[in-house]
């Protein structure tokens, strides 16, 4: 992938800027967030609720010229109000919000991680079976694809009845979202070695088992990691969705429901919860991306001439 991307730019020869790529990307990332914040507050400046000295850290008084419903303090709280919310208790005499959200994030991450493991193993097993048994692939693949058009939330209540409310049922719901990409990419990856590579193994009279572990599996790894990165994200979404109908209140899904109920009195708490969810999703993705880097290190050339 790296090679292909580099090939696409054609700028490899130009002495592209002095900073190393990760630093440039991190800076760009920060820049984009700054732009979003500026746009956000800009919208509130021109079309939000009046700025009072006590609702912004600059002590500004300002009356916006237009009024948009989307930009009101209820619908789009000030950035600093949201940041502030992390430090304030969400109910009287309770712990500060960030402690609650941190605990909720851990809780949801654990569910997501279990779902990811279950889904990943299931996906790999299914993909392997499909790659080796033609009938299974032809017979089951259409339903594996169709399974992804089932709105997961719809079967969640049933799963919860089957397995009792608890993090196990949430993990299963999360696994339902994660197994699919792994199945597809395992199958594609195991089938990816060219004819000649398989023939070479046959020329050594290698067993099916040996072909699988010496050729097919290593060839499939890059494909599988692509899927795992998708699954990492999906498992967090799955865990949050799974919490909604299960009555579990300790995770981010529960927090979303809870703060949604009290939206009028504190919209910034729901926004803070969304930011926490975003962090969990990104954290899991980055975790798998790092793992990919370690496992697949040395597969692609670091630098290329020309």
Partner 1 sequence: MSRTVWREYMPAIVVAVAALVLWEAAVRGFQIERFLLPAPSAIVTNFIENFERLVHIGWFTTKEALGGFFIGCSLGILAAFITARWVAVNEAILPFAIAANSVPILAFAPIVNNWFGVDNPLSKMIIVAVIVFFPVMINTIRGLTLVDKNALELMHSYAASEVEILWKLRTPNALPYIFNAFKIAAALSMIGAVVSEYFGGNRSALGVFITQEAALFRFENAWSAIIIACIVGITFYLIIVAVERAVIPWYFEQRKAERH
Partner 2 sequence: MTNTPTVSLKNVTKIFNPGQPNEVTALKNINLDIWPHEFVSLVGPSGCGKSTLLRLIADLTQPTEGTVQVNGKSAYRARIEQDYGIVFQSPTLYEWRTVAKNVELPLELMKYGRAERRERARKMLQLVELEGFENHHPWQLSGGMQQRVSIARALAFDPALLLMDEPFGALDEMTRERMNLELQNIWDRTGATIVFVTHSIPEAVFLSNRVVMLSPRPGCIAEIVDIDLPMPRAWEVREDPHYFELVNHLRDTLREIEGGMRE
Contact between 306 and partner 2 by CB under 8 A: the answer reads: yes
Q: Restricting to residues 25-54, which ones interact with partner 1 according to CB under 8 A?
A: 25, 28-29, 31-32
77 burial level (CB within 10 Å; 0-12, 13-18, 19+): buried
Q: Which of 5, 8, 13, 294 binds partner 2 (CB under 8 A)?
A: 13
CA angle 153, 159, 160 (to 5 degrees): 95
DSSP 72: S
Given the rule CB under 8 A, which of 57-65, 142-150, 252-260, 298-306 is the region that contacts partner 2?
298-306
CB of 1 to partner 1, least distance (A): 9
Which entry of partner 1, partner 2, none binds 260, CB below 5 to 8 A by partner kind?
A: partner 1
Helix axes 252-261, 97-132, angle to 10 degrees: 130
Comparing CA positions, the residue from 268, 261, 269 lying closest to residue 77 is 268
CB of 66 to partner 1, least distance (A): 16
Asked whether 165 and 108 are in contact (CB, 8 A), the reply is: no
CB of 303 to partner 2, least distance (A): 6
Which entry of partner 1, partner 2, none binds 267, CB below 5 to 8 A by partner kind?
A: partner 1
CB of 205 to partner 1, least distance (A): 27
Helix axes 152-163, 167-190, angle to 10 degrees: 120
Cβ-proximal residues to 27 (8 Å cutoff; 6+ apart), any chain: 19
> Total residues contacting partner 2 (rule CB under 8 A)?
5
CB of 305 to partner 2, least distance (A): 6
CA angle 216, 176, 102 (to 5 degrees): 105
Given the rule CB under 8 A, which of 47-55, 91-99, 205-213, 274-282 is the region that contacts partner 1?
274-282
Interface contacts to partner 2, rule CB under 8 A:
13, 15, 303, 305-306
């Amino acid at each position: 992938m790296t090679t292909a991307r580099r090939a696409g730019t054609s700028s490899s020869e130009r002495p592209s800027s002095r900073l190393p790529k990760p630093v440039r990307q991190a800076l760009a990332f920060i820049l984009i967030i700054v732009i979003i914040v500026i746009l956000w507050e800009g919208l509130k400046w021109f079309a939000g609720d009046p700025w009072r000295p006590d609702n912004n850290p600059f002590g500004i008084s300002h009356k916006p010229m237009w009024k948009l419903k989307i930009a009101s303090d209820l619908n789009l709280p000030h950035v600093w109000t949201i940041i502030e919310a992390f430090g304030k208790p969400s109910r009287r005499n309770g712990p500060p919000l960030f402690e609650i959200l941190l605990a909720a994030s851990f809780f949801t991450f654990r569910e997501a991680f279990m779902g990811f493991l279950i889904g990943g193993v299931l996906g790999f097993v299914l993909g392997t079976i499909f790659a080796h048994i033609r009938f299974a692939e032809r017979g089951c693949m259409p339903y594996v694809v169709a399974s992804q058009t089932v709105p997961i939330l719809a079967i969640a209540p049933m799963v919860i009845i089957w397995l009792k409310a608890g993090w196990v049922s949430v993990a299963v719901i999360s696994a339902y979202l994660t197994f699919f990409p792994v199945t597809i990419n395992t199958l594609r990856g195991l089938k990816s070695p060219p004819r000649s590579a398989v023939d070479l193994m046959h020329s050594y009279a290698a067993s099916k088992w040996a072909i699988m572990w010496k050729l097919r599996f290593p060839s499939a790894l890059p494909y599988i990691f692509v899927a795992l990165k998708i699954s990492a994200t999906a498992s967090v979404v799955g865990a949050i969705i799974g919490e909604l109908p299960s009555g579990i209140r300790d995770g981010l899904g529960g927090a979303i429901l809870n703060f949604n109920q009290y939206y009028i009195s504190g919209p910034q708490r729901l926004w803070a919860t969304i930011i926490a969810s975003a962090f969990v999703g990104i954290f899991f993705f980055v975790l798998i991306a790092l793992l990919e880097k370690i496992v697949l290190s040395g597969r692609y050339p670091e630098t290329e001439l020309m």
